[in-house]
Structure 1
Amino acid sequence: MLITVSVRGDADYTRLQDAVDSLAKEGGGPVTIRIKPGVYEEKITIPETAPPILLLGEDRDRTIVTWSDNAHTLGEDGQPLGTFRSGTLNVLAESFTAENVTIRNASGAGTGQAVAAFVDAGRAVFRRVALLGDQDTLYTGKGLQYYNDCYIEGDVDYIFGAATAVFDRCTLHNKRSRGYITAASTLEGTPYGYVFLDCEITSGEGVRDVYLGRPWRPYARVAFIRTIMDGSVAPEGWHNWGQPDRERTSRYEEHASSGPGGDTEKRVDWSRELTSEEAAAYRIIEIFGGWHPEGY
Structure 2
Amino acid sequence: MKKIAILKYIFLCLLVSQSFFAQTAKFKKGKYNFVVAQDGSGDYKTVQEAFNAVTKLKSERTVIFVKSGTYKEVITLEADKNNVTLIGEDMDKVILTFDNYSSKINPVTNKGYGTGGSSSCFIIGADFYAKNITFENSSGAVGQALAISIQGDKAVFKNCKFSGFQDTMYGADGRQYFKDCYIEGSTDFIFGSSTAFFDNCKLYTKGGSAITAASTKEYINFGYVFNNCKITGTGSRITTLGRPWRPYAAVAFLNTEMSDAIKPAGWDNWRKVENEATARYSEYNSSGTGASPTERVKWMKNLTADQAKLYTVENVFKTTYANPPVIDNWNPNKVINLYK
CA distance in 1, matches of 2:59, 2:261: 47
Instruction: Give the aligned partner of residue 167 of structure 1.
Output: 198
Q: CA RMSD in A?
A: 1.0
State the distance in 2 between where 1:93 and 1:39 align.
23
CA distance in 1, matches of 2:154, 2:116: 19
Say which of 62, 65, 84 aligns to 2:96: 65
1:209 is displaced (CA, Å) by 3.0
- 1:1-296 equivalences under 5 Å are 2-75=33-106, 76-109=108-141, 111-176=142-207, 178-204=208-234, 206-289=235-318, 290-296=329-335
Normalising by the residue count of structure 1, what TM-score does the alignment of the two structures yield?
A: 0.97
Equivalent residues of 2:210, 2:241 under 8 A apart: yes
What amino acid does structure 2 have at the position aligned with 1:69? Answer: N
Shift of 1:47: 0.2
| Residues in 2 aligned to 1:231 and 1:161: alpha-carbon distance in whole angstroms | 25
SS in 2 for 1:295: helix
Q: Please give the alpha-carbon distance, in whole angstroms, between the structure 2 residues aligned to 1:292 and 1:19.
A: 27
| Distance (Å, rounded) in 2 between the aligned partners of 1:278 and 1:209 | 30
CA distance in 2, matches of 1:222, 1:26: 33
Mapped partners of 2:82, 2:147: distance in 1 = 22
Q: Per-residue deviation at 1:207?
A: 4.2
SS at structure 1 position matched to 2:116: helix
- The answer to whether the 8 A contact 2:100-2:118 is kept is yes
If each structure's strand is expressed as a fraction of its own residues, which one has the higher value?
1
Letter paired with 2:83: P
Q: CA deviation at 1:263?
A: 2.1
Separation (CA, whole Å) in 2 of partners of 1:114 and 1:151: 18
Counterparts of 2:68 and 2:236, CA distance in 1: 32
Is contact 2:101–2:113 with CA below 8 Å preserved after alignment? yes
Equivalent AA in structure 1 for residue 71 of structure 2: Y
For the pair shown, the structure with the greater C-alpha radius of gyration is: 2
Higher helix share: 2
SS of alignment partner, residue 285 of structure 1: helix
SS in 1 for 2:198: strand
Query: 192-201 or 21-30, which moves further after superposition?
Result: 21-30
Task: Flag the structure with more relative contact order, 1 or 2, with Cα contacts below 8 A and sequence separation at least 6.
Answer: 1
Letter in 2 for 1:293: P
Secondary structure of the corresponding residue to residue 334 of structure 2: coil
Alpha-carbon shift at residue 51 of structure 1 (Å)? 2.9
User: How much does 1:24 deviate?
Assistant: 1.8
Q: Deviations over 1:188-208 (max 9, x none)?
A: 11010000000000112x342
Unaligned 5+ segments in structure 1 are none
Paired with 2:304 and 2:238, the residues of 1 have a C-alpha distance of 26
Give SS of 1:33's match: strand
Query: Which consecutive aligned stretches of 4+ in structure 1 deviate over 6 angstroms post-superposition?
Result: none
Q: How far off is 1:17 after superposition?
A: 0.3
Deviations 1:215-254 (A, max 9, x none): 0000100000000000110000000000100100111000
Give me the whole-angstrom Cα distance separating, in 2, the residues matched to 1:156 and 1:102. 20
Identity over aligned pairs, percent: 40
- The CA deviation string for residues 54-103 of structure 1, in whole angstroms up to 9 with x for no partner, is 01001101111110000112221111110001111100002101100101
1:29 positional shift: 2.4
Name the SS for the 1:182 alignment partner: strand
Is the Cα–Cα contact under 8 Å of residues 236 and 261 in structure 2 kept in the other structure?
yes
Q: How far apart are residue 28 of structure 1 and its match?
A: 4.8
> How far did residue 175 of structure 1 move?
1.0
Question: Partners of 1:254 and 1:52 in 2: how far apart?
Answer: 34
Alpha-carbon distance in structure 1 between the residues aligned to 2:243 and 2:76: 29
Alpha carbons 1:119, 1:142 under 8 Å: kept? no
